[in-house]
Amino acid sequence: MTDESAIRNRAALAGTPARALALECLDAGIAAADPRRVVREAVGIDGDVLTVAGTRYDLGDYEELVVLGGGKAARGVAAALEAALGDRIDRGAVVTDGADDADPLERVDALAGDHPVPSERGVESARRVLELADGADDETLVLAPITGGASALLPAPADGISLADLRATTDALLDSGAAIGEINAVRKHLSALKGGRLAARAAPATVVGLVLSDVVGDDFGVVASGPIVADDSTYEDALGVLDRYDLDAPASVRDRLTAGARGEVAETPSVGDPVFERVSVHLLASARTALDAAAETAREAGYEPLILSSRVRGEAREAAKTHVAVAEESLLTGDPVAPPAVVLSGGETTVTVTGDGEGGPNLEFALSAAASIDASGVAIASVDTDGRDGGTDAAGGIVDAETVGDRLSADDARDALADNDALAALDAADCAVRTGPTGTNVNDLRVLAIADPSEPSE
């Protein structure tokens, strides 16, 4: 059992063996993706030799070492780098959402930004990161924490784009149901930092990316909108996203994207651009990190784990129905795994917002699952590992067959789904999972704990 729970209301949510195990699996997954833990495992120093995920860098080759980057896990990465490297770090800045403010930093400035919608303070913080990048030269080693959330936390509007227009575009994209890769194709082409432009600003420095991925497939070009890697999207692609989702973007946004598509604005740097000659990127944690830890926790509890997929995407409420069907099949036939079992999945579902309620993909997943499941002995939990689902104060939810009926009426569940108001419904049923900001971000973690039907459920 996890010694210290990230879930603040874990005791109140447990209730049954299946629910208790599901919560323990969530805890294990979040803990495994803690940035301090993954940096300790991946980064080492022996004399003047720095090793990152097996790659060696001789610190004697550089006049200065700078840390710069951003994201929800960036502060934890910076803290772990300070613990390993101490005063070898000359300066630095990372932009975060305020998680882990108590974590002391001495060599690296922790700057504030906002998520999921960019803010003025984020613009100022991004400007400081760009200033550090501009000050780098061929004798600079840049360690770059790049983690989920940095797309919003590090806004650097391109020339002619106001913060207000960037915010309006971000809001529209988030409500449209567009996939993260599509959203980021637009963001990259409205930014002075994203889509490889941070690497361009730091060149000819040696840049070492330390990535905690929150995207399906761990595409470095999508994590944080790819600030230090080549961009394979174009202005034409970004325009296509606006048109595909019929978004009413501000005139300045559409004008810039149109000008870029015509070749009137420089494209983001792509594969083969010399700005990437001294850039290397290392994946330190991803959805698989959390899934593997949750699977081991299930195994230790005597449940057979099955990782269904780390790449689940699509509408949250529809994905929930598929997961419920998997649990029902397991109980009925023993396929794809026989009880007692824990079925796990990661990835990133989306919500097409049509109502005025408060929620997020994991909350909506949980509520839809609650409305669909009628098999006893099954607990279904879904959280965003950063601790804030859809910008709410809840990480997600945990439900079972008793949630709708005993705790929440079927009519209320249906109405809440229609209004995208999953948080209020799950709060009313005492089923919302709360962790607070966790300091990490490896996307969604879903747990289906399926008890042995021959065992008592209480």
Encode pLDDT of 309-364 as tens digits.
999 999 999 999 999 999 999 999 999 999 999 999 999 999 999 999 999 999 99
Portions of the chain given CATH number 3.40.50.10180: 35-285
Question: Do residues 432 and 403 make contact, with C-beta atoms less than 8 angstroms apart?
Answer: no
pLDDT exceeds 50 at position 293: yes
Question: What pLDDT, on the 0 to 100 scale, is given for residue 457?
Answer: 55
Residues of the chain with CATH 3.40.1480.10: 11-33+290-450
What are the tens digits of pLDDT across the range 142-163? 999 999 999 999 999 999 999 9
Residue 458 has pLDDT above 60, yes or no: no
pLDDT of residue 101 exceeding 60: no
Rounded mean pLDDT, 233-262: 97
Question: What integer pLDDT is reported at residue 456 of this predicted model?
Answer: 61
Q: Binning pLDDT at 50, 70 and 90, where does residue 177 land?
A: confident
- The pTM of the full predicted model, rounded to 2 decimals, is 0.92
286 pLDDT tier (thresholds 50, 70, 90): very high
Report how far apart, in Å, the C-alpha atoms of 158 and of each of 97, 166, 252, 253 are: 22, 10, 11, 10
Tell whether the model's pLDDT for residue 302 goes beyond 60.
yes
What pLDDT score was predicted for residue 42?
Answer: 97
Tell the CATH topology of 35-285: Rossmann fold (3.40.50)
Mean of per-residue pLDDT scores for the chain: 95
Superfamily of domain 11-33+290-450: MOFRL domain (3.40.1480.10)
Nearest to 413 by CA among 448, 373, 453: 373
Q: Is the pLDDT of residue 432 over 80?
A: yes
pLDDT at 368 over 80: yes
b/e code 280-316 from CB counts within 10 Å (16+ = b): ebebbbbbbbbbbbbbebbeebebbbbbbebebbebb
Nearest C-alpha neighbor of 354 from the set 424, 420, 425? 420
**Residue where the block lists tokens 């080693």:** 141
Long-range CB contacts (< 8 A, 24+ apart) of 104-107?
A: 104/79, 105/75, 105/78, 105/79, 106/82, 107/67, 107/82
CA 390 to chain centre: 11
CA-closest candidate to residue 67, choices 6, 149, 128: 128
- Percent of the chain surpassing pLDDT 70: 97
- Model pLDDT for residues 369-416, shown as the tens digit of each residue: 999 999 999 999 999 999 999 989 999 999 999 999 999 999 999 999
pLDDT band at 1; cut points 50, 70, 90:
very low
2 pLDDT above the threshold of 70:
no
| pLDDT range class, residue 79, cuts 50, 70, 90 | very high
Highest mean predicted confidence (pLDDT) among 176-180, 279-283, 451-455: 279-283
